[in-house]
Amino acid sequence: MTGHPIADTAALTGRTMRHVTRSLDTVVTTAIMPVAMMSMFVYVFGGAIDTGDVDDIDYMLPGILLITIASGVAYTALRLFTDMSSGMLERFRSMPIARSGVLWAHVLTSLVANVISLVLVVGVAVLMGFRSGAGIPAWLAVAGILLLFTAALTWLAVIAGLSAGSAEGAGVFSYPLIFLPFVSSAFVPTDTMPAAVRWFAEHQPVTSIVDTIRGLLAQQPVGSEAWGALAWCGAILVLAFVIATSIYRRKIT
């Protein structure tokens, strides 16, 4: 017997969600660091950064949201590594449940936990003065891009959780992801960067995603940036999913 995939995934998601609700400090901590960064950029460095006619908080928020996601998925890698190292996956393997449910439970939990963190960060941004005249379709598009980006990074976290040799190693993979927005258009215009850095900034995924979200919230045309953002997120998601599931099959056989 292999179980019923949907029912088993739902039950296992309930288990991982209980871990989150019993340790809400992980969600809060995930939101605290981006909020601290947002406050620093707006209140400390805001006057030194030329954002044109755009308010500092409006300019910074898209990048902060991506940092929030990158911070949050580190806990997914850690939770999965804990299941691996404690022998929990071995116990699941001996039970009549769908094996895919274990991974999907961690992925769905990551999506929920990150949505909570994103809502907290946006709420603080509103208190700091963030305003947007974007309509419901634009907000739905922003939410869709953020969810797609979260799913892509979560599957990268699955790879880290399955491959890490220690708890520290499971979480450290997120450091480059957190750093990436700093070498993009998230906090400073790319045309202020040296040539080599500017080329990298303009051709990495974060810039396309940030520019798309910023344009949607500012009610400006996003053009090809939106397609670039979707292509990057989709490519990372597919590649990470294939690698993660391949590693998982080898681990449980």
Nearest-Å Rg of the Cα atoms of the chain is 19
What pLDDT is stored for residue 1 in this prediction? Answer: 42
What pLDDT is stored for residue 21 in this prediction? Answer: 66
> Do residues 180 and 129 touch, judged by C-beta distance below 8 A?
no
Per-residue pLDDT of the chain (253 residues; tens, 9 = 90+): 455 767 767 777 777 777 666 666 666 667 788 888 888 888 877 666 766 777 888 888 999 999 999 988 888 888 888 877 776 666 666 565 666 677 888 888 889 889 988 998 999 999 999 998 889 999 999 999 999 999 999 999 999 988 877 877 877 888 888 899 999 988 888 888 899 999 999 999 999 999 999 999 998 888 888 999 999 999 999 999 999 999 888 876 6
Residue-wise pLDDT for 102-152, tens only, equals 788 888 888 988 998 899 899 999 999 999 888 999 999 999 999 999 999
What pLDDT is stored for residue 99 in this prediction? Answer: 66
> Do residues 59 and 214 touch, judged by C-beta distance below 8 A?
yes
Token representation of residue 204: 């990495």
Tell me the average pLDDT of the chain.
Answer: 84
**Number of domains the chain contains:** 1
Instruction: Give the domain range for residue 29.
Output: 5-252
143: left (phi over 0), alpha (psi -120 to 50) or beta: alpha
Tell me whether residue 73 is exposed, middle or buried, using C-beta atoms within 10 angstroms of its C-beta: 0 to 12, 13 to 18, 19 or more. buried
What pLDDT is stored for residue 221 in this prediction? Answer: 86
Length of the chain: 253
Token representation of residue 211: 């520019």
Q: Measured between alpha carbons, how far is 68 from 114 in angstroms, rounded to an integer?
A: 8
Task: Give the list of residues 6+ apart from residue 180 with CB closer than 8 angstroms, or none.
Answer: 70, 204, 205, 206
Q: Could you tell me the pTM of the whole model? A: 0.88
Q: Measured between alpha carbons, how far is 249 from 107 in angstroms, rounded to an integer?
A: 16
Nearest CA-CA partner of 149 in 53, 63, 32: 63
Token representation of residue 116: 């909570």
**Single-letter code of the amino acid located at 51:** T
